[in-house]
Structure 1
Amino acid sequence: MPGAPRRCAGTSRCRSTRRSLSPLPAKAAASRGRNPYPRPSGPEDRSESVQTLPAALRHWARQTPDRVVLRHGTEHLTYAELDASVDRVAASLAARGAGKGDRVVLIGLNSMAWITAYLACLRLGIVVAPANNRLSPSQLSDQCDRLEARAVLHDAAHADLVREVPRPGRAVIELGDLVRTAQGGESTVPDVPVPQDIALISFTSGTTGAPKGAVLSHEALYKGALAVAEFHGSTQDDSTLILVPVFHNTGFNDQFGHMLVAGGCTHLLTKYRTGDAIAELRERPVTFLAAVPSILRMLMMSDEAEHIYGPAAKLFFGGSPMPAAWIDELLGRWPHLRLTHAYGLSEFTSICSFLPHELVASKGESVGLPAPRVQLKVVDDQGREQPPGQPGEVWVAGPTRMTGYWRQPALTEQKFRGQWLRTGDLGHLDGDGLLWLTGRVDDVINRGGEKVLPSYVESCIAQRPDVGQVVVFGIEDPVLQQRVAAAVEPRPDSVFNEHAARNHLAARLPDYAVPERWVIYEKLPLTASGKVDRREVARQFPDSTEG
């Protein structure tokens, strides 16, 4: 059936003439606040009319229709097949009364149907709101109500969840049914949106309060994806496996959007499990891997690590710093990898800065230089730009900045300063213009007036050979306000030695920064994006230390 997934042999290389983005030379230094990267022209044959992700799909469907764009296990879709399927699903949604400006919530595990519905919404000008697939019924209901959602699109795995959500005047459609029933029709739907139209509302994880909906334009999605492709010099020969949930910015932008803009191939893992990821990468290797350090660490410690990192060419990490000891091990075992550190925000579509691979071995905990078309500066609490070496809050500006929080003008006003977005992250720029993050404004531990930055303490603890993962957090204290605590997940087949860890830290940290309380976890809790959940560990702390 045209547009339906087909069986394939599973190779990560796809047929057709190579067309590439102009490689972007990495530079080691930049003036503060200025984008250090030249703007490349993009693929040789891309017209200036390609300014949105749906238009990028149409472009490659015409230029290289038989090249594979999506894989899920042994099934695949070509660019022409995906483009046609997106048209038919878009026509089906339009027939149900959905149109430009309507909000549609999309929830489900990673699948071809999710991607197809996502692109169909974008093509119609529908504002899509990818939902965290770990939401409770009350959270999903609240999100739908706040958006005044016209419809909820869900997969079979979330049917029970969606069934508990009130639906007055709201269509509820199962993704598999939507895609299957749309296949019988033939339709060519024009791309409705223009770059300035609202494309997507990305809800934050809510770790600093109630989730907020960052409103992103079509221009932001396209240029955010293009920035990743430009920086890595990605071509149609590149491929990636999405390990994180696709609703996350890393999934729909840094990986799928990036590959769509470059004309490459995206592989989907239904849901992250280390064993499943290893099996998939062994069977169908990819050139580009992206994940938070905790996931990359789990893959590194696997007996099958050679089958994961050996075939890869580029490795991209972000979300939290990667300890220097992990970087040394990674590059020592696979020196061919082009390892890149990145920093991004939901409110900025995703990527704000990249650390070029040439600097990762020596300055791996820096998040690098501004991404293409991004401006960046560090300011004090009065908004005055700080000189190199002086700490402050990181502010960013560029076309991928959100237009605001959905129907929260007061909160939007707090985050904006003219063209600048206040990130809430602390850091400093060095003399070469490299950005070094030291924590969140609200993560800093205040121990009797002494400020402790968890990320630095974590980096020191991670140097220990018996440590797999670690998170440092503050616990309330009636006298000092807070004390420092650490939760450790030991490395497999190792026993964590608290006494040795304390001695290790005493030689590297002031005494007030050495954790006073330690908790051992078999597995640390993770957020939906795969990062260690600092706030959940802190919440569990009283229970985890009983007895």
Structure 2
Amino acid sequence: MHVGWMIKNIAEDPDPLVSGKTAVQEEAGRAWTFKELHAISNAYANKLTQLGVRKGDRVGILLYNCLEYFGLYFAAAKIGAIAVRLNFRLSSPELVYCLNDSGTKILCFHAGLAGRIEPIQHEVPVEQFICLQEEASVVPGWAQPFSVLGEGQQEDPAVSSIHLNDPVMLMYTSGTTGRPKGAIWTHNTTFWFSAIQALKWGFQARETAMTTGPLYHVGAMEDIALPVLMRGGTVIITKSKNFEIQRVLSVMEKEKVTCCFLFPFMIYDMLHLPDLAQYRLETLKTIYTGGDPLMPWALESIRAHFPHIGVVQVYGLTEGQPIAASLDPQDAAGKGSTVGKPMPLTAIQIADDAGNPLPAGEVGEILIKSPAVSEGYWKKPEATMETFADGWCKTGDLGFFDSEGFLTIAGRKKDMIRSGGENIYPAEIEDVLYRHEAVKEVTVIGIPDPKYMETVCAIIVKKDGARLTEKEVAEFCKRHLASYKKPRKVIFVKEIPRTPSGKVQKFKLREQFGAG
């Protein structure tokens, strides 16, 4: 059995209402049924085999969101190859690193990204380049057109045995702390993670899910999309460039979306719309969100505008199960500052620096254990040993359980601020500042201080036209926090650096503002 089987199983159902149902659809309307997705991924798989791809070889996918992305992913799975899903926002030097680190043999890329690939052709181990045209773009002479993949036979590819513990995908971590590492996902990891979500949320074939992130990220494919496909539901994907929340909401209404994944910054964009009342979202039952904690005011606003929609906050990480804990909508009113409880078949432990379990109420590092935890990092045994031990994944995140078993995130272990002998957790301060009417975005970091070792620095993006001073920020925080937690420095910026999944890159801010 392999990951491609989840599509084959539905595509070969004798009932045409099942096999002929839409599996994946682009927001503009282009779609493939389960039968078509299976046949097309077979064709890609057989052609990749003809081009020399063997079990264990790496196939790079550097594409914007499109149907072909799913075709390639399942094609690689069907022949035992490993899909290397690359961030299309990476620069040429960053791509050199990922392609060399993974040893990618064939690279499939969008024509719009050719300018970043051409200068590095001879610096990477890629043997063949395959280009997907878009609009009036031209396939460069050093690449083959994507149409060659469609020339393969559409019957099931003949391959050597694929085992559940074989790698199916390399996902390079989003790099909130520096250079990314390739997290290894096996067929087993992928099946278990899909099953855990289906078990938790009871996905059915009638589901129409919308994924809004880039497909190279687990938040757009492994979260929600794959388990919905596994159950025979439909997945709608948004285009990659020029994100507009108004357009996304319009597609949700038109396609009668029942559930979607929105990153917190997307939810904030939605709630800041002056014409939000025109969107009724009548079929939408659930919004899943994660990446960063959702601020309490946003939960309150969603309940006010859309009382029929449940918000599920999730917590996890690429290598440590992308959704390891979730907060059920019925618990949001009383436990909205938490990320809920562990998912089914998932254990979460809070530990001190020596790895000893801590009792409820005490802050420590979050450790995760489940059958959906990554096997480790690609060709990085030392980093693997450092992060994975005795089946546990050390997340690098800080958190604590309350007496009822709800998990609260206190921030990154490296982000904790140590000031004057006190531990200060940025998430607590960010929560307060997001309640200020002039604040659009905020993040908190520690910066060097000659007296206290570190001091609190708030970096703020103001709402358009809003007025706010450093003194006003400090006074606002003093009303809600202990004095030692208030920001002693406030920096106003036009934007906060984020990863493509919406996570704040605090290491860049520390570098920029001299925190080291």
Whether these two folds match at TM > 0.5 is: yes
Aligned residue number for residue 333 of structure 1: 305
Aligned partner letter, 2:261: A
Percent identity over paired residues: 25
Q: Per-residue displacement from partner, 1:253-281 (whole Å, max 9, x unpaired)?
A: 00321221121111121225125434433
Which of these residues, 160, 180, 183, is aligned with residue 147 of structure 2? 180
Contact 2:105 2:125 (8 Å CA) reproduced: no
Q: Per-residue displacement from partner, 1:356-379 (whole Å, max 9, x unpaired)?
A: 111112111211111121111111
Give how far 1:294 is off: 1.4
1:402 equivalent in alignment to 2:359? no
Aligned residue number for residue 66 of structure 1: 20
Instruction: Call closer, same or farther: CA 1:227–1:304 in 2, change over 3 Å.
Output: farther
Aligned partner letter, 1:172: F
**Aligned mates of 1:524, 1:309 — CA distance in 2:** 30
**Aligned mates of 1:354, 1:315 — CA distance in 2:** 12
Aligned residue number for residue 274 of structure 2: 303
Aligned residue number for residue 286 of structure 2: 314
Aligned residue number for residue 6 of structure 1: none
SS at 2:459 equivalent: strand
**Aligned mates of 2:321, 2:349 — CA distance in 1:** 18
Aligned partner letter, 1:62: E
SS at 2:222 equivalent: helix
1:198 equivalent in alignment to 2:170? no
Which of these residues, 124, 133, 147, is aligned with residue 88 of structure 2? 133
1:98 equivalent in alignment to 2:70? no
Give how far 1:321 is off: 0.9
**Aligned mates of 2:368, 2:152 — CA distance in 1:** 45
1:207 equivalent in alignment to 2:176? yes
**Aligned mates of 1:499, 1:453 — CA distance in 2:** 21
1:489 equivalent in alignment to 2:461? yes
Which of these residues, 41, 50, 55, is aligned with residue 86 of structure 1? 41
Give how far 1:179 is off: 5.0
Contact 1:294 1:532 (8 Å CA) reproduced: no
SS at 1:385 equivalent: coil
Give how far 1:308 is off: 6.8
Alignment of 1:312-391 (within 5 A): 312-391=284-363
Give how far 1:115 is off: 1.6
Give how far 1:67 is off: 0.6
Alignment of 1:30-45 (within 5 A): none
Contact 2:350 2:399 (8 Å CA) reproduced: yes
SS at 1:341 equivalent: strand
The range that moved more, 98-107 or 471-480, is: 471-480
Q: Per-residue displacement from partner, 1:404-460 (whole Å, max 9, x unpaired)?
A: 111111111111221111111111112222111111110111223322111110001
Aligned partner letter, 2:206: D
Q: Per-residue displacement from partner, 1:269-298 (whole Å, max 9, x unpaired)?
A: 122512543443354341112122111111
The range that moved more, 478-487 or 410-419, is: 478-487
**Aligned mates of 1:305, 1:220 — CA distance in 2:** 39
Q: How large is the RMSD of aligned CA atoms in angstroms?
A: 2.1
Give how far 1:228 is off: 2.1
Which of these residues, 472, 477, 495, is aligned with residue 449 of structure 2? 477
**Aligned mates of 2:413, 2:109 — CA distance in 1:** 36
Which of these residues, 207, 226, 244, is aligned with residue 213 of structure 2? 244
Aligned residue number for residue 128 of structure 2: 171
Q: Which structure's relative contact order is higher, taking Cα pairs within 8 Å and 6+ residues apart?
A: 1
Contact 2:130 2:146 (8 Å CA) reproduced: no
**Aligned mates of 1:246, 1:465 — CA distance in 2:** 34
Which of these residues, 113, 118, 133, is aligned with residue 158 of structure 1? 113
Instruction: Call closer, same or farther: CA 1:346–1:198 in 2, change over 3 Å.
Output: same
**Aligned mates of 1:85, 1:129 — CA distance in 2:** 19
Which of these residues, 54, 57, 61, is aligned with residue 7 of structure 2? 57
Name structure 1 gaps, 5 residues minimum.
Answer: 1-50
**Aligned mates of 2:54, 2:369 — CA distance in 1:** 31
Aligned partner letter, 1:92: K
**Aligned mates of 2:132, 2:345 — CA distance in 1:** 36
Alignment of 1:255-274 (within 5 A): 255-271=224-240, 273-274=243-244
Instruction: Call closer, same or farther: CA 1:433–1:542 in 2, change over 3 Å.
Output: closer
Instruction: Call closer, same or farther: CA 1:387–1:168 in 2, change over 3 Å.
Output: closer
SS at 2:224 equivalent: helix
**Aligned mates of 2:196, 2:366 — CA distance in 1:** 20
TM norm structure 1 = 0.85
Contact 1:446 1:452 (8 Å CA) reproduced: yes
Instruction: Call closer, same or farther: CA 1:71–1:169 in 2, change over 3 Å.
Output: closer
Q: Per-residue displacement from partner, 1:127-175 (whole Å, max 9, x unpaired)?
A: 1111111111111111111122111111112111111222456211114
Aligned partner letter, 2:488: E
Contact 1:216 1:349 (8 Å CA) reproduced: no
Instruction: Call closer, same or farther: CA 1:448–1:300 in 2, change over 3 Å.
Output: same
Give how far 1:393 is off: 1.1
Q: Per-residue displacement from partner, 1:327-383 (whole Å, max 9, x unpaired)?
A: 111112111112111111111241111111111121112111111211111112222
Give how far 1:65 is off: 1.1
Contact 1:221 1:349 (8 Å CA) reproduced: no
The range that moved more, 104-113 or 175-184, is: 175-184
Which of these residues, 224, 228, 231, is aligned with residue 200 of structure 2? 231
**Aligned mates of 2:125, 2:504 — CA distance in 1:** 37
Aligned residue number for residue 124 of structure 1: 79
The range that moved more, 159-168 or 326-335, is: 159-168
Instruction: Call closer, same or farther: CA 1:458–1:508 in 2, change over 3 Å.
Output: same
Q: Per-residue displacement from partner, 1:86-145 (whole Å, max 9, x unpaired)?
A: 000111101000021001221121111122111111111111111111111111111111
Aligned residue number for residue 277 of structure 1: 248
- Length, aligned pairs only: 493
The range that moved more, 80-89 or 264-273, is: 264-273
Contact 2:107 2:126 (8 Å CA) reproduced: no
TM norm structure 2 = 0.90
Contact 2:12 2:19 (8 Å CA) reproduced: yes
SS at 1:482 equivalent: strand
SS at 1:77 equivalent: strand
Give how far 1:522 is off: 3.5
Q: Per-residue displacement from partner, 1:170-193 (whole Å, max 9, x unpaired)?
A: 211114566533334432125853
Which of these residues, 428, 436, 451, is aligned with residue 408 of structure 2? 436
